[in-house]
Amino acid sequence: MQPTQNNNAGKLATLLGVKTRFQVNGALWGYVFALPWIIGLIIFWLGPIFASLYFSFTEYDIISDPKWVGTANYVKAFTSDPQFWPSLGKTFYFTALFVPTTIVGSLLLAMLLNQKLYGTNIFRTLFFIPHLVPAVAIAVVWLFLMQPRLGPINTFLRSIGVENPPLWLGSSDTALESVTLINVWAALGGNNMLIFLAALQGVPQDFYEAAEIDGASTSQKFWKITLPLISPSVFFVLILTIIAALKVFTTAMIAPQTPGGPSNATWFILVHIYHEAFLYLRMGYGSALSWVLAVILIVFTIIQNVTAKRWVYYENE
Amino acid sequence: MRMSSKRTFNPARLTRNVVLYAILMVLVVVFGFPLLWTLSASLKTIPEFAEYPPKLFPISPQWINYWTVLNTPRVPVLTWLLNSSLVVVLTTIGTTLTSALVAYSFARFNYRGRDFLFFITLATMTLPAQVTLIPQFILFFKMGMINTLYPLWVPAWFGGGAFGIFMLRQFFKSIPRDLDEAALIDGAGYPRIFWSILLPLLGPALATLAIITFIASWGDFQNPLLYLNSPDKFTVSIGLQFFNNAPEVGGVPMRHLLMAACVMSMIPTVAIFFIGQRYFVQGVVMSGLKG
């Protein structure tokens, strides 16, 4: 019996990718500790990913069984859905407004807080608070602030002589810009600024001193020293901000009086997916739209990773 | 201090600082005014609320509004706060505990498939969660869990997500292995080593993850919007949306109460941030510099 048992133990060890019996014990414990995530990955990630890929080729209202329709959902999105292209266009327009504003804004804010002034910690905390407020509360509050007739913003604008202040969220001309403004306000002092601040504090002071001796101007110091040295953080923040912008949802649903805004001015892609999948119960079509969004997000990430090599400076390379 | 040599009176420097402080003050108004205005509006009477031009401060602050909003049956704000608290506490405990377990497994054990598993874990970070939203909804629908709080916190107990696992794994790797090995020789089992030796050393990292999870879970709107549909089951976020859509339920204008509810919705996250600010800033910065 003894040799067979050893042989079995040997097989188990090979199966688990280890050598001794002691290591077999360790490997088994390794699986035990990883088990919650292995189950979670299957139930909440891998299963759903394949399921949604399958659903995207079906017609499915959740009650009756999914019906295979081939590529009809994708064809519908690209050719006959009147909301699809406009919703993508609005999402990209929002992204184009939001991303540069927040990134430049948070960087400026971080540079301001990086000056050696008293009380910068207090200011940092204060600027961060909007980031802690639930997005719904932010949207509700700004709806009141931007109220065209009674709101404090237009009251202020009238008091300084603006005769016809904008209708903000109430008009299809300005709703998207207003939603952008709200999001910028909420994001400016948040995580991005903290990351920039830490990056700025990591730039060695000697570089600036050497540059000063060589007679470099303030702008030269920024473009030639600061920006290259913090470029990994800028790159990281850029990816996260673009992805977040493409997924804009909460403010667009709540701040304008109707979800999606007046004349659908803030009918972004995620608003569209939400309506199709969860209000009209077109789960198949909603899945197809989700995959279109996923592909866009993945393409953005790849493009950035490829171009990053050209402009991001990594110290240890 | 590097600056001390320059601390003599210097007019150019003084002007510069005055300008910088002026900019900071403008920013204080930009960031602070909306919050201050919400607080002030929440303390107004109904006529004061509708007044034009709006007053910055109410004549006598109506603190009673906060009591009233908690006791208005049509908008059960107290229930929403309790529901949110339940979801957030369970999500936070589940995320920190199970992602620490998984991180321990990734950092300390050798077994077949570990590196592949870790690769998939990182891959889930780049794939947008939107792709999994619909099938997850269908899953919970089939399990009869629509309009319950389960879909909001149960997933957190299955490893908590890639971000937490990744972050804690880095921390585990920074703890010397000698510590585990000494305990192992003394006869402690792996669960004991995890719980009594490593977890206490991980305190700051766990605090960081807990705060980040707390804030994200408290503010979540998308999931409650999908899963909850009766007011007694709402969390704060979805409840505020419901309140906002029907601000005059029963013919009584309640917008000042809506503002009070908004203020209350901010208190837990702001409080947690002030308590654990150091850990939070550390966590955010770490995630950014690793990237």
pLDDT tens by residue, A198-254: 889 888 888 888 998 988 888 899 998 999 889 888 888 888 899 889 999 999 888
Per-residue pLDDT at A316:
53
In the DSSP assignment, the letter for residue A10 is H
Per-residue pLDDT of chain B (291 residues; tens, 9 = 90+): 444 444 567 788 888 889 999 999 999 999 999 999 999 999 998 888 878 778 888 888 999 999 988 888 888 999 999 999 999 999 999 999 999 999 999 999 989 889 999 999 988 877 777 889 999 999 999 999 999 999 999 999 999 888 899 889 988 888 888 888 888 888 888 999 999 889 988 888 898 889 889 999 999 999 999 999 999 999 999 999 999 887 666 666 788 889 999 999 999 999 998 888 888 777 777 765 543
Kindly state the tokens that stand for A180. 């952008």
Q: Would you list the DSSP string of B15-61? A: HHHHHHHHHHHHHHHHHHHHHHHHHHHHTS-HHHHH-SSPPSS-SS-
* Start-to-end C-alpha separation, chain A: 57
What region, left, alpha or beta, does residue B220 occupy, with left being phi > 0 and alpha being psi -120 to 50 degrees? beta
| Residue B57 near chain A (CB below 8 Å) | no
Decide if A26 contacts B110 (C-beta within 8 A).
Answer: yes
Question: Which residue pairs from A7-15 have beta carbons closer than 8 angstroms and sit at least 24 positions apart in sequence?
Answer: A15/B112
Supply the pLDDT for residue B290: 45
* Residue A93 CB coordination number (10 Å): 14
pLDDT of the residue at B288: 58
From the number of C-beta atoms within 10 Å of its C-beta (0-12, 13-18, 19+), residue A41 rates as: buried
User: Is A255's pLDDT higher than 80?
Assistant: no
- Cβ contacts of residue A248 below 8 Å, gap of 6+? A91, A94, A95, A98, A179, A183, A268, A270
CA distance A183 to B156: 27
**Is the CB of B134 less than 8 angstroms away from the CB of A283?**
yes
Distance of alpha carbon B74 from the chain centroid:
27
CA A45 to CA A235: how far, in whole Å? 27
- Kindly report the length of chain A: 317
> Which residue from B36, B62, B53 is spatially nearest to A151, judged by alpha carbons?
B53
pLDDT tens digits along A159-170: 898 888 999 898
CA distance linking residue A223 with residue A229, whole number of Å: 10
Chain-chain contact of B102 with A36 (C-beta, under 8 angstroms): yes
Task: Give mean pLDDT, residues A178-186.
Answer: 95
Q: What is the pLDDT of residue B142?
A: 92
Residue B1: what pLDDT? 41
Q: What is the pLDDT of residue A74?
A: 96
For residues A261 and A175, the answer to whether their CB atoms sit within 8 Å is yes
How far apart CA A265 and CA A26 sit, in angstroms, is 58
Name the residue facing A49 among B132, B138, B158 (closest C-beta). B132
User: How far apart, in whole angstroms, are the C-alpha atoms of residue B58 and residue B40?
Assistant: 7
Q: How far apart are CA A239 and CA A63, in angstroms?
A: 38
Contact yes or no for A254 and B244 at CB 8 A: yes
Contact A17 B111 (CB under 8 A): yes
What is the reported pLDDT for A190? 86
Contact B273 A132 (CB under 8 A): yes
Report chain B residues whose CB lies below 8 A from the CB of A247. 128, 130
B41 vs A contacts (CB less than 8 Å)? 144
State the nearest Cα–Cα gap between A6 and chain B, in angstroms.
19
Q: How buried is residue B34: exposed, middle or buried, by Cβ count under 10 Å (0-12/13-18/19+)?
A: buried
CA distance B133 to B138: 9
A17–B126 C-beta distance less than 8 A: no
Q: Which residue of A has its CA nearest to B245?
A: A257
| pLDDT value of position B10 | 79
- Whether the Cβ atoms of residue B215 and residue B274 lie closer than 8 Å to each other: no
Residue of A nearest to B48 (CA): A150
Check: CB of residue A304 under 8 Å from CB of residue A235.
yes
Partner residue opposite B17 with nearest CB, options A117, A243, A298: A117
% chain A with pLDDT above 70: 96
Quick one: tokens of B161? Answer: 């997500």
Closest residue on chain B to A182 (Cα): B34
Between positions 63 and 82 of A, the ones with CB within 8 A of B are none
Provide, as residue numbers in chain B, all residues whose Cβ is less than 8 Å from the Cβ of A233: 288-289, 291
Predicted confidence at residue B227, as pLDDT, reads: 96
Instruction: Give residue A272's pLDDT band: very low, low, confident or very high (50, 70, 90).
Output: very high
User: Cα–Cα distance between B166 and B156 in angstroms, integer?
Assistant: 15
> What is the C-alpha separation between B243 and B237, in angstroms, rounded?
10
Tell me what pLDDT residue A101 has.
Answer: 96
- The stretch A106-134 carries a mean pLDDT of 90
The owner of tokens 């998308």 is B222
Measure the CA–CA gap between A1 and A4, rounded to whole angstroms. 5
- Minimum-distance CB partner of B132 among A28, A45, A155: A45
Count of positions (residues) in chain B: 291
pLDDT tens, A59-96? 999 889 999 999 999 999 999 999 999 999 999 999 99
Is B111 an 8 Å CB contact of chain A?
yes
Tell me the ipTM for this assembly: 0.88
CB-facing half-sphere around the CA of B221: CA atoms within 13 A? 24
pLDDT at position A315 is 61
B163 at A interface, C-beta within 8 A: no
Would you say B274 and A126 are in contact if contact means Cβ atoms under 8 Å apart? no
Q: What is the pLDDT of residue B150?
A: 96
b/e code A212-239 from CB counts within 10 Å (16+ = b): eeeebeeeebeeebbeebbbbbbbbbbb
Secondary structure string (H, E, C) spanning A271-293: HHHHHHHHHCCCHHHHHHHHHHH
Res A317 pLDDT > 50: no
How far apart are the C-alpha atoms of A199 and A272, rounded to whole Å? Answer: 38
Q: Which residue has the tokens 């980040």?
A: B212
Which chain A residue has the Cα nearest residue B102? A34
User: Closest residue of B to A130, CA-based?
Assistant: B31
Q: What is the pLDDT of residue B178?
A: 87
Which residues in chain B are contacts of A116 at CB distance < 8 A?
A: 3
CB within 8 Å: A31 and B131: no
Report the C-alpha gap between B119 and B106 in whole angstroms: 11
Q: Residue B111: name the closest of A177, A158, A253, A13 by CA.
A: A13
Given this model, what pLDDT does residue A1 score? Answer: 41
- Its CATH class, for the domain covering B74-290, is mainly alpha
Residue of B nearest to A14 (CA): B112
Where along chain B do its domains lie? 2-68, 74-290
Element (DSSP H or E) covering residue A59:
strand A58-59
